[in-house]
Amino acid sequence: MNACTATLVRRRPLVTLPGVYTPQDDTRLLLHALYREGVGPGTELLDLGTGSGALALGAARCGAHVTAVDIAWRAVFTTWINARLARLPLTVRRSDLATAVRGRTFDLFVSNPPYVPAPGVSLPRGAARAWDAGCDGRLLIDRICDLAPAALRPGGVLLMVHSGLCGASDTLSRLGRAGLRAEISDRTRIPFGPVLRSRLSWLRSTGLPHGAGGGAGQLVELTEELVIIRAERPRASAPY
């Protein structure tokens, strides 16, 4: 059993300060997808929106050189604490999306961004910044799609998780227009959590839950599909 596989089997509890996203089903789904990419010594990896650092630590255990980034100071501090406790070398930075990728390229770019549709036009505050993502859930997803090509080396891969409520086909199309080969690599379905349950009336009124069991506005099963988007930057064509 290698270190990467062992990480999945022996899940050590992580420190999560108040207001920092606790690893859940979406984190585990993305971690499995990350390990399939053959992460190892020499892999340069960016974990954008690192939260507790679960993905960054998993990659570091495989020997990757990891840069973990978050806009929230509490998340940055949480990841730093978890890295110290695990005795793993990580570069942890507080940064916004654009600054995190400016002037650097990576072999692997992973992100579990906020993706929960939220009513209103104001930006989320406090703990809600970890999940609320505008009225269509794409507040950061679209920005990641636009920035990913410049952040990836030839042959580099973006792995991003989001809800089926946000329109996976829209993400695939946007990444394709940006020059990446994109596909859905993983799917799973989970029960609605407390946040989505609290917004059932609003979700029905918007028609967003077309992928959540039943037709638009017909939330029969109250389940949410999570997907992993895998997008690869093509390698340069060999000269004739």
195 inside domain:
no
> Domains in the chain: how many in total?
1
Evaluate whether residue 203 is within a structural domain: no
Count CA atoms within 13 Å of residue 158 on its CB side: 35
Model pLDDT, residue 27: 93
Distance from C-alpha of 173 to C-alpha of 156, rounded to nearest angstrom = 18
CATH number for 10? 3.40.50.150
pLDDT in tens, the chain (240 residues): 455 654 443 456 898 898 898 899 999 999 999 999 999 999 999 999 999 999 999 999 999 999 999 999 999 999 999 999 999 999 999 988 778 777 889 999 999 998 888 887 666 676 777 787 777 888 889 999 998 999 999 999 999 999 888 889 999 999 999 999 999 999 999 888 788 878 878 777 776 654 444 344 444 468 888 999 999 999 874 443
Q: Residue 214 falls within a domain, yes or no?
A: no
Is residue 218 one of the residues assigned to a domain? Answer: no
157 falls within a domain: yes
Specify the 3-state DSSP secondary structure of 210: helix
Contacts (Cβ under 8 Å, ≥6 apart) of 2: 62
On whether residue 167 sits in a domain, the answer given is yes
Would you say residue 163 lies in a domain? yes
217-236 CB burial, b ≥16 within 10 A, e <16: eebeeebbbbbbbbbbbeee
The domain containing residue 168 runs over which residues? Answer: 3-189+226-232
Asked if residues 124 and 113 have their Cβ atoms less than 8 Å apart, the reply is: no
User: Does some domain include residue 201?
Assistant: no
